[in-house]
Structure 1
Amino acid sequence: MTSTRHQFHRGVLKAPKRVGILTLPLSINYGGIMQAVALSHYLSGKGYEVTLLDKRRPMAWWQRAALVLLEKIPFQNIKRIRQTRQTRDLHSPFIRRYIPNQTPILRSERALSRAVESYDLDTIIVGSDQVWRMDYLQDDGYKEFFLSFVPSQSIRRIAYAASFGTGEWPHESRTPIVSELLHRFHAVSVREESGVKLCKTSFGVDHCEHVLDPTLLIDPEFYKAASGAGEKGEDKIFLTYILDAPDRRPVIDAIANELPVEYQLRSLVLKQASPPDLPTWLRSFRDADFVMTDSYHGTIFSLIFEKPFIAVANTGRGSDRFESLLDQLDLGHRLIALSEAHRIPELVHEPIDFREIRQKIAQKRLISAAFLDRALGL
């Protein structure tokens, strides 16, 4: 894949040695953290020095001061600020272990540009996760996720598995600037098939590829090691991992009624006083025997650890990503709506041929890795 073919990037490209990753802030989103860790692991394995660009939303000095106070004052959790900080501190050692190079917090386009220069980065990769979903971004900060801050045309701009979050683009006022910025990219890939269509129809980007989420880009053995020690007990485990609790109970009960009596219900709960750390989160999927989840990355890690699962469509967070992933693996029927509880008995008793799934993921992994390697100039 060359810049001539794409007609995006112009100028002399350096051979990449130092790569910066830009993604949504790594704080309390377990899947968001794991996709960044996976991408960093892949790049490091190719011999690149990886730096995480720690972009956060702009704040006035008094806002930052108020935030620090709310993070530290005990016996309160206004707007979940204190718990968010505690969860971020919980995850920080894991993130530092696998992404040791990180910039200081960057709150402006100018700060991002200076970081690219001071760290002498020759490639910037934006992705994965919903980095192009406008309602997740702040004001004019959306331009930075289309790499508006990159100071030189000699620096590679790559989008890997970026996501718009939905299959629609209702932001016509932002179309011209996004289109202009996307045409500066050396290579563009997205996480959902709908994103390929959006790039073409909304922004005129014809050469956009559909690739796997970074968590599926690396060897599953990485996650087994990262999950830490600990032997599973003899009990069979029915794991539930639910991000949006309302109305999910009937589905849980219907699945539990179909599973043998020796299955013990275990819920992986994030919004609690003592949330699990990332190794514990990974072990929950590793040790499960059946999984019900409304989480995209919960679905992915059910696949990685080869666990029978039922995914419940999470329309509020975006169902395109579920459909795009599962349809590639001929598992789209395992994604159900809340109104489809009548399908649960059949799905619980239907085996999944994980040997076949493993082969399909391996094929998609080769395609995804080939895109990224070409984009990097390998």
Structure 2
Amino acid sequence: MMVQANISSLQSSPFVLNSPSSHPSLRQLLNFSAGKAERRKLRFSCRSSREQEGEYLLDAPVSVGDGFSFSGGKYSDEPSPSDEWFKKGKMVKAHPVNGIGKKAKDPIFGLTMGAGSQASSDVFRWFCVESGNADNPSVILIHGFPSQAYSYRKALPVLSKEYHAIAFDWLGFGFSDKPQPGYGFDYTLDEYVLALESLIGQLVRDKVSLVVQGYFAPIVVKYASNHQEKLNDLILLNPPLVENHAELPSTLSIFSNFLLGEIFSQDPLRASDKPLTSCGPYKMKEVDAMVYRRPYLTSGSSGFALTAITRAMRKELKTYTKEMRMILSNENWKVRTTVCWGQRDNWLGYDGVDDFCKHSSHKVVELAMAGHHVQEDSGEELGQLITSILSKP
């Protein structure tokens, strides 16, 4: 029933799904969702930039974007806020690709994906935005799941006054590479730890402070436990800190379901808008929504990466959160750690957080008006708070 409800919304959505119209699985899917009279409202095109090789692509030309949405939406070549954000950053190469030397294929139809959905062949590309003087102490801002470096846009200008602030997109998000699972990166949490180590090695040479939000916190803490000598401060924003935080909310766990995960992750409203707005008081402006939706409308790989990450999180999050608690409460942990908590978090409850921090001698700072995505709800306030927390050189 849920599949039919989402597919049927195609009838009123003006978009082009670029795929071989003769492909039986796609035809069956459409027959299942709409009658003959309503199917003629859909517009399809069969395009391939490699027809000379007899290989069809589930993609539009690179100039248009190769994404698709099962519930509406279409990428436009017109100027957008995402273009302005992209101009502020740069691509950094870090972490070797453990690939198989073949073009990635989508997991639904098995069709080779276009250039926009192919990751690097040697070293992954990460999108990074830097602000402030590079001679100042460095602080790296790490977004949560699912989000982008864009979420720190309000905090960056504040931090740049005294620090060299850097925000980046994780692999699978934003403008960074989004490899298909099995084609160089499988999105396991262990892989993310190693990838983070490679990236930080490229970004900074001296000591650094780390700020991380949400469900990526256990990954960052595990990295930090192996590199305490490199860290000045660690700031955790609404991390899954206690035992009952180890399960993903239904808004995210839906992407791990068989088939439904692949379908729903291609819907920018489900993959982007809903996770960002359902976990707290955040009211997304359309200008910001256009930035967050862009990856899902320009490349099908964004949604497939989201599905892979969610499945890895569901499988490994309990182990990682338990390990994070052990690390932070261990007497050998020497990094000054602060937990900042948005009290209007609809995903993670505050019960037990204060007790854990007191027992582990970590400072807790509460933000009354913020939710799970603290940097969205209280970005400038967070920037000022981070500035007050970080160790002065």
Same fold, TM-score > 0.5, yes or no: no
Q: Which has the higher helix share?
A: 1
Q: What's the TM-score, normalizing by structure 2? A: 0.30
